[in-house]
Structure 1
Amino acid sequence: MPSAPMALRGIGRFLRHMITSSPSRFAIVIFATLILVFTTLLSLPIASASGTVTPLSDALFTAVSTICVTGLVTVDMASHWSPFGNVVIFVGVNIGGMGVLTLASLMGMVVSRKLGLRAKLLAAGDTNPLRAHGGVVNESQTVRLGEVGQLLRTVALSTLVIEGVVALLLYPGLVMAKIDPLVALWEAPYYAAMSFTNTGFSPNPGGVGVFADDYFVLTVLMISVFLGSIGFPVIYTLAKHVWHVKKWSLHTKLTLITTSLLILLGAIVFLVLEYENPRTFGSMDAVDTTFQAFFLSVMTRSGGFSVVDVGGLNGSSLVAGSMLMFVGGGSASTAGGIKVTTLAVLAIAVWSEAKGRQSVEAFGRRIPSDVQRVALSVVAWGATIVALSTIIIAQITKADISHVLFDVISAFGTVGLSTGLTESLPDSATYVMAATIFMGRIGTVTLAAAVAATSRTQYYSLPVERPIVG
């Protein structure tokens, strides 16, 4: 019978082999393992306020929503969980918010006890998702291997610092909102974590709706969601070159510009479509309507908080919101979706094709064709996942297709906004929605890279023949 040290060494060798042979699969295994662990913890009687065992479907869905920083719920978060359950959820969202590949990198460091070349390559994959795709990546759009350790420290420190500052800003706002000062001591960091990780859980009855007239609290939440949605590589770049725009990478420029445009356009669309809707903005004055339109637009980045009743939005607004949620936030961020840089690359490619240009260029840089193929693959994977999930859940529930589509895209984009459908799903549909969240969080590029990890390089090319397109 093998001794304990030999068994541990065997496990260490197995983990080390998995890390170096397929980082993407290792990241998926880590997330799946975390979900199982947190499902177990949330199933314990001590985790519920009533002291009873939470049903498996609810515990699993909450664990998936927590680790994948989504925010969709099947139970009342303010009343169902005990203090122990809330602590478990708080820890879970911070672990999940660090990202799939970053977490895998840190686990790899624990196993190998040092950040070697392979671990640095793995961590570099989180700074630039294109590292998961074969081919040469422009050095100006990546983090150099020597900087990966610094990047990982930036991820941890930025999370702690931003959440700490947000909690300090929120505390007086919560107290002024007539929340007990002692209760606010834990609700402030809870809201800070839920906003920066773009999760959207609310610990109090009524959620952020109780702060509907508190512009300060809502603005702090918006800023926190924005910082979480732009991605750690962008935060890293801004921390180093905040006043030197010329030193910003193309990824940083595309992320900030596209995110800002989507927030502005989203606010305008919601303002126009909901201005006279009595169930949402109709009873508000012009200032409130404008502010709430921007708040809703920011939350479709992946924030998940909502002041208005999402189920009361017009059908046209649900479609617009679905489009924004499908795009999501920045790469290697706490947000989900296909990512804003994917949209930017495709938009630039379409514009270049319309102009008849031979290459796709932006800000004095040429975007290679393999990047464009990855962008197309991401959209195709995302659309397929959303379509299949929508069809299955619609067939199970027979619910309004617009509500089903909205909640499914919210799950895929790990947003957390809901028309109210998710809370009433039967167990079978709950499991489908949980799988959608999982696939949306681990990332379409990561999923594709994991599936194709065993593919071989082709050393020859076939004759060219052009099919008719369009």
Structure 2
Amino acid sequence: MNKVIHPARAVALGFLLAILAGTAMLMLPLARADGSAVPLMVAFFTSVSAVCVTGLILVDTGTYWSGFGQSTIMVLFQLGGLGMMTAATLLGLMVNRSPKLRTRLMTQTETRSIGMGDISSVARVVLVVSVLFQLAIAAMLTLRLQSDYGMAWGEAGWVGLFHAVSAFNNAGFSIHPDSMIRYAGDAGILVPVMLAAIIGGVGFPVLHDLRHRFRDPRHWSLHTKLTLSGTLILLLLGYVAILLFEWKNPQTLGAFGLVDKLMNGMFMSAAARTSGFNTVDVAALTRETWALHYFLMFIGGGSAGTAGGVKVGTVAVLVLLVIAEAKGHTDTEAFGRRVGSSAQRQAITVLVLGSVVVAFGTVALLRISHFPTDQVIFEVIAAFGSAGLSTGITADLPPSGQLVLALLMFVGRVGTITFATSLVLGERRMPYRYPEEHPIVG
């Protein structure tokens, strides 16, 4: 009798195998621009960063890696962004239009809020939306790069495709050494990239819901409403705060005109929630903006999407719980719906464990490096939240520090998914209940 692998373990194993395969591919001399051997740490760290769609790097992607190496990296963050189990279901649909229960369960790990009967539909949405949208963004970028930057069609096509795929998957990889800084004044580049990152980051359950009920918001699921409203609030709050903190900073927004200040402020707010691109020097940001990034990077994007973090829905549930408690309500409610107690417990657990991981990662990195605490915290949260932004210390960390970041990237991307799924699938009612008592809190 074959033993079925637990869906949570299958996800972790799938990501791990992709990382190992990516490491092996990137270690080939063919993957390096000069044809020489690639150090194990460079190949491994890059593979982890790509599969976990983080974007932290030890070497410049555009000059260190060959076309083969860059293509390998793009494939890795495409796989990581779409989710291993979503890819497995798509493959199953191509072979057999009726996926087995095991495959559906495995895919539900990545699409937790979707019912079992909708998994096939979700898989189709994943394929159609991701491929068509990435190609559309790539076409827009290609035309802009060819017409306004004088690139040959081949070069413009590759640069456009790489950044379109990276943006939609919130990977943060760029083949430019300055990321998006050279395009800081070009809305024709920044707007499509920002749009791709936001749409990819809201999550496939939301896209699935919008596809079927776009004109009837009243019937959107609670998950969709919480994710979209939470995303909008975070974007606007981050936007206003960044403009406030950076408006007069001569090294960042202070160097731009009014229109460019407004455009780059919005791009920075969107990028902070895991897309990983930057149009200004992150190291030159004010300490207040760094603190804001801690918050935005830790939250990340929507569940079952390409973004990382503890997820917008998780924080939204906790905010609703606090509001209900402050009002003295016994139920946690939003949009005419009651939030289940199990969802509340899961949200608290994910947030607490995420905070513990960040705390331990910070302490570990402080022990083995000489960098200031604020920079270390930024790096740790960027790794855990799959944000990919950096103050510039990644490559200067000792190998042990880089391994800590690699572990944080894996746990941040895979751990939250697998743990939340384990909570859901492992939930069971006990045949008895102990007498209730209320310990003193606060």
Q: 1:144 aligns with which of 94, 115, 129?
A: 115
Q: Which moved more, 1:446-455 or 1:241-250?
A: 446-455
Structure 1 CA distance for aligned equivalents of residues 274 and 94 of structure 2 = 30
Q: 2:184 aligns with which of 197, 212, 215?
A: 212
What amino acid is aligned across from residue 170 of structure 1 in structure 2?
Answer: L
What amino acid is aligned across from residue 151 of structure 1 in structure 2?
Answer: V
Task: For structure 1, list consecutive stretches of 5 or more residues without a partner in the other structure.
Answer: 1-12, 129-141
Q: Provide TM-score, normalisation by structure 2.
A: 0.95
Contact 1:18 1:26 in 2 (8 A): no
Spell out, residue by residue over 1:258-302, the C-alpha distance to the aligned partner (whole angstroms, 9 max, x if none).
101100100100110111112111222222212111110000121
Q: Which residue pairs with 1:5 in the alignment?
A: none
Q: 1:92 aligns with which of 76, 95, 99?
A: 76
Q: CA deviation at 1:431?
A: 0.6
Q: Which residue pairs with 1:18 in the alignment?
A: 4
Q: Which residue pairs with 1:428 in the alignment?
A: 400
The within-5 A match list for 1:59-458 is 59-103=43-87, 105=89, 114-128=98-112, 142-175=113-146, 176-447=148-419, 449-450=421-422, 458=430
| Secondary structure in 1 matching 2:386 | coil
Structure 1 CA distance for aligned equivalents of residues 411 and 221 of structure 2 = 28
Contact 1:322 1:406 in 2 (8 A): yes
Q: 2:24 aligns with which of 40, 44, 55?
A: 40
CA RMSD across the alignment: 2.0
Q: CA deviation at 1:324?
A: 0.5
Count of residue pairs the alignment pairs up: 441
- Percent identity among equivalent residues? 39
Q: Provide TM-score, normalisation by structure 1.
A: 0.89
Q: Which moved more, 1:332-341 or 1:166-175?
A: 166-175
| Secondary structure in 2 matching 1:462 | coil
Q: Tell me: CA distance 1:464–1:104, structure 2 relative to 1, closer, same or farther (3 Å).
A: farther
What amino acid is aligned across from residue 18 of structure 1 in structure 2?
Answer: V
Q: Tell me: CA distance 1:443–1:109, structure 2 relative to 1, closer, same or farther (3 Å).
A: farther
Q: Tell me: CA distance 1:173–1:23, structure 2 relative to 1, closer, same or farther (3 Å).
A: same
Q: Which residue pairs with 2:437 in the alignment?
A: 465
Q: Which moved more, 1:245-254 or 1:442-451?
A: 442-451
Contact 1:25 1:450 in 2 (8 A): no
Q: Tell me: CA distance 1:451–1:378, structure 2 relative to 1, closer, same or farther (3 Å).
A: closer
Q: CA deviation at 1:455?
A: 8.6
Q: CA deviation at 1:177?
A: 2.2
Structure 2 CA distance for aligned equivalents of residues 178 and 329 of structure 1 = 35
Task: Report whether the alignment pairs 1:28 with 2:19.
Answer: no
What amino acid is aligned across from residue 309 of structure 2 in structure 1?
Answer: G
Contact 1:374 1:445 in 2 (8 A): no
